[in-house]
Amino acid sequence: MNAKRVASWIARSVVVLVSAAMLAVSAYAYVTYRNVTTNLATDDVIVSDTPSSSSSSAQAPVRKPAQDVNILLVGIDSRTDNQGHPLPRQVLDALQAGNSDGEQNTDTMMVVHVPADSTKKAFAVSLPRDSYVSIAGGFGMHKLNSAYARGKIAAANTLRNQGKDADTVTRESTTAGRKNLIATVTALTGLHIDHYAEINLFGFSEITNAVGGVPVCLNNPVHDSYSGANFPAGPQTLQGIDALKFVRQRHGLAGGDLDRVRRQQAFLAGLANRMFSAGTLADPGKVSSLVDALTKAVVLDKGWDLLGFAQQLRDLTGDHIEFTTIPTIRPNLPTPSDGVAVEVSPAAVKAFVQNLLDPAPPTPPGEGTPDARKIVVQQEKVQKIANVQPIDAGGIPCVD
């Protein structure tokens, strides 16, 4: 009788402990999610067709059916963190980044398309920073990486003339810069940008630390004094400052910035591979350090349902993500005021993006209707312009 009572008492204690543990696990998950949504720096930069309830981010999200999502990823060479404080000297020295020249160039721009239908491919299209395009806001033809700074400086001047205080000027002009870049990219690619994610130099290195390094592979050893890149050939895992050097190196590469774009694509492919294949998202320790790094390093648009997006991402496997670059024409286009730029044809860019969204079905041989032939010819042209093999995140691609 007594033994039975003890056994029952032990059983009950175990059940209570299990119950409490389950409650604790769900609390931990909830707090992690809350941290992401409340600590992330956000900016109201997306001009949406339908007003969304952006203030309800702290409540339990109600799932909306998944939709195709286009995200503009921006890497900015700002020497400040995302709260506007200057980076520590030692970090700048390690980056060989020099002093802030006050200008903010967006040196990496990528449009990432995540389809609602997980059987379709996701793609990331790089927009070379020196692409000579029409800048939104009536600034005329300039390099793409100046769209942000031009919009920001113009807005700052207007705000200052209105007598706004320095903080307001900085905040609102930054928003204007981001909006101007989004408008420019939309006009160039024909894609509506649903979400915006901006990351600075330092934050980028923090994220690579959080995931425990990113696997990359080089075709040849490199030694570049400008970026400090000094790597052997072959596969290697990079994190922190080294990861930054890898994606920033431009000198000593045959294609200059276009080769650097390939580096960035290969790096993101490695990162995606790491995130989706190596179980990073299932490791609570890594998730919380990743969340920590993200909240320090990234600026997102307001009202982005990250949980919903994470659920949409979960179905993606590495080989369903393809990295490409918009078609470019001459890499050494002389310009009146911006030095040498990269020539792009907006029509070719739009056709290229449309083809990514809706790949023309391969026509079976023998069915040579004139219409089908035209589509094939068009497709070949696009392929030729793109001329380099797209990178996908199924493996670790080797790059120059």
Partner 1 sequence: MSTRRNLTTLPGWLAVLLTLALAVGGFLLGGLYFPISVVIGGVITALFAERSAFFAVAVQPPVITAVVVAGAVLLGRPLLDAATQLASTFPYLAGTMVAVIVILLVRVRSVRSA
Using CB under 8 A as the binding rule, whether residue 348 contacts partner 1 is answered as: no
Using CB under 8 A as the binding rule, whether residue 311 contacts partner 1 is answered as: yes
As measured in angstroms, the least distance from the Cβ of 35 to partner 1 is: 11
- Reported residue count of the chain is 400
* Calpha distance 52→283 (Å, rounded): 33
Q: Which of residues 118-177 bind partner 1 (CB under 8 A)?
A: none
DSSP string, 300-359: EETT--HHHHHHHHHT--GGGEEEEE---S-TTEE-SSS-EEEE--HHHHHHHHHHHHSP
Rule CB under 8 A: choose which of 41, 52, 54, 61 binds partner 1: 61
Rule CB under 8 A: choose which of 7, 9, 10, 32 binds partner 1: 32
The answer to whether the beta carbons of residues 42 and 152 sit under 8 Å apart is no
Binding mask 290-309 for partner 1 (x = CB under 8 A): -----------------x--
Counting beta carbons within 10 angstroms of the beta carbon of residue 98, is it exposed (0 to 12), middle (13 to 18) or buried (19 or more)?
A: exposed
In this structure, what token pair is assigned to residue 327? 């078609």
Rule CB under 8 A: choose which of 1, 3, 6, 60 binds partner 1: 60
List, in sequence order, every residue forming a beta bridge with 392; answer none if it has no partner.
322
33: three-class secondary structure by DSSP? helix
* Calpha distance 123→24 (Å, rounded): 38
Rule CB under 8 A: choose which of 22, 141, 166, 360 binds partner 1: 22
Choose the binding region for partner 1 from 54-62, 160-168, 169-177, 296-304 (rule: CB under 8 A).
54-62
The answer to whether the beta carbons of residues 132 and 343 sit under 8 Å apart is yes
In the block, tokens 């939309």 appear at 186
For partner 1, which is the closer residue by CB, 20 or 166? 20
Rule CB under 8 A: choose which of 7, 10, 23, 47 binds partner 1: 23
* Calpha distance 185→70 (Å, rounded): 11
In this structure, what token pair is assigned to residue 126? 């790089």
Choose the binding region for partner 1 from 144-152, 172-180, 311-319, 386-394 (rule: CB under 8 A).
311-319
Using CB under 8 A as the binding rule, whether residue 63 contacts partner 1 is answered as: yes
For partner 1, which is the closer residue by CB, 8 or 230? 8
Rule CB under 8 A: choose which of 30, 56, 339, 373 binds partner 1: 30
As measured in angstroms, the least distance from the Cβ of 313 to partner 1 is: 8
Using CB under 8 A as the binding rule, whether residue 33 contacts partner 1 is answered as: yes
Provide the binding-site residues for partner 1, judged by CB under 8 A: 12, 15-16, 18-20, 22-23, 25-27, 29-30, 32-33, 60-63, 281-282, 307, 310-311, 313-315
